[in-house]
Amino acid sequence: MFKRVALIGLAILILVSGWLIYQQVQNNRAAAMGDYEIEAVQRADIIATFDADGVLRSNQTAELNWQASGTVDRIDTAVGELVSKGQVLASLEDTSLPQSILLAQADLVNAQRDLDELHESQTQRAEALKAVELAEQALEDAQNPELTQANALAVVSQAQKDLEEAERSYSIVSRSASNDAIEQAYANMLMAKRVYDETQRQYNKIENKYNRNPNLYQFWESKKLYRRILESLEQKLLRDRLAYERSQERYEKLLEPPDSGDVALAEAAVALGKALLAQAEQDLERIQDGPRAVDIAVLEARLEDTRREWEQIKNGPDQNDIIAAEARITAAEAALKAVTITAPFSGIITDIKNKPGDIVNAGELAFRLDDQSHMMVDAQVSEIDINKIQPGQETHMTFDSVRDKEYHGQVVEVPLYGTETDGVASFKTVIELIDGDGNIRPGMSGMVTFVTDSVGDALVVPTQALRFEGGQRVVYILKDGDLIPVEVTLGISNSSYAQVTASALAVGDLIVLNPPGD
Q: What is the pLDDT of residue 28?
A: 47
Q: What is the pLDDT of residue 15?
A: 64
Cα 490 from chain centre: 51
Q: What is the pLDDT of residue 30?
A: 45
Amino acid at 357: G
How far is it, in rounded angstroms, from Cα 399 to Cα 414?
22
CB 209 within 8 Å of CB 226: yes
The Cα angle at residue 477 between residues 476 and 480, in degrees rounded to 5: 135
CB 409 within 8 Å of CB 399: no
**Hey, which residues does 313 pair with through a beta bridge?**
none
CB 107 within 8 Å of CB 333: no
Q: What is the pLDDT of residue 411?
A: 95
Query: Three-state DSSP class for 188?
Result: helix
**Range 185-211 burial, b when 16+ CB lie within 10 A, else e:** bbebbeebeebbeebeeebeebeebbe
CB 370 within 8 Å of CB 82: no
Kindly tell me the burial class for residue 101, based on how many C-beta atoms sit within 10 Å of its own C-beta (0-12, 13-18, 19 or more). buried
Q: What is the pLDDT of residue 120?
A: 62
How far is it, in rounded angstroms, from Cα 15 to Cα 195?
144
Instruction: Give DSSP secondary structure letters for 271-304.
Output: HHHHHHHHHHHHHHHHTTT---HHHHHHHHHHHH
Q: What is the pLDDT of residue 12?
A: 65
Kindly tell me the burial class for residue 468, based on how many C-beta atoms sit within 10 Å of its own C-beta (0-12, 13-18, 19 or more). exposed
| Residues of the chain below pLDDT 50 | 25-32
pTM of the model: 0.45
Q: What is the pLDDT of residue 31?
A: 43
CB 81 within 8 Å of CB 497: no
Residue 471: CA atoms inside 13 Å, Cβ hemisphere, count? 0
How far is it, in rounded angstroms, from Cα 518 to Cα 504?
22
Cα 97 from chain centre: 37
Q: Which CATH architecture has domain 33-56+376-518?
A: Beta Barrel (2.40)
Q: What is the pLDDT of residue 10?
A: 59
Q: For the chain, give every domain's residue range.
A: 33-56+376-518, 176-257
Q: What is the pLDDT of residue 18?
A: 58
Q: What is the pLDDT of residue 376?
A: 92
